[in-house]
Structure 1
């Protein structure tokens, strides 16, 4: 069914009545994003919170030298948003771009606010998501600052099982903060150890 994974995602954190679930689902907009297209561009206002139903996106920024730096990937059953832009109507710092053709359910800021007033449980759901996102970002920063590349790659494989088969070495290397050549060396080393 269209909403099964999304309902399971929400139900893992909060319990909703059938009526509350219907209200939530009625506020969603389904959208298909072509490979390479943007859900969000830097400098624009993030007007939607996105649930990835099918496909894969990356959250990234360009540094002063024009290099792409990937903050995270969001595959199926993940939520993705530039939270500061979404909550504070500030220009987005990040790009959110589809790596594959991607289907999202998006919730506008107005629908988000209305949902929180109609169904207080959603406030709990949002807070849990955002707290977990903040914790994940803290771990990501600490990994980048303290772990060698080989351990960062190992943690990437654990965090995103199977993603190494869906995305290019260039994107993985950007996420890890290493060159594609160095990533190739790591992969060869892993292949010999297996």
Structure 2
């Protein structure tokens, strides 16, 4: 998971921003009430979930990781809501909004790929299993980074009619490559 103190500290502000953007979108387009409720209610629901989880096992590191993850999700929601509001005001073309959202998702894949190899293994594992796990995380991380770049580039430069489909295929291909590599490692050992 993401373990970042700055992201963790921004969690309440991002939550209120997403809530405000969701209400703003609803005020502009009342017919989007369902979407606004889902978008605005997601982070408070995540906070409630975090509160319930932390009552079971409260740790400072675990709390910071959950808050960082909530902030990261909130930033994506805020971007999406902000772009939707810009579309409503006709400050941004719908195709540009879709491209910006897709590039942001590509960046999320790149960030995930960067964090994946840095995840720690349980100490109780034997040395061979730990080494295999680290190899797999490194491979998956690089694959996610390359897939994220492909997703972002396709989203930016492909014709808008096919960009979403092609970008999705790049992610499916990346996941398939990771799955094949995982199966290959399991067969070898």
TM-score between both structures, scaled by the size of structure 1: 0.30
User: Of the two, which has the highest radius of gyration?
Assistant: 2
Instruction: Tell me which of the two structures has the higher relative contact order, counting C-alpha pairs closer than 8 angstroms and 6 or more residues apart.
Output: 1
Larger proportion of strand: 1
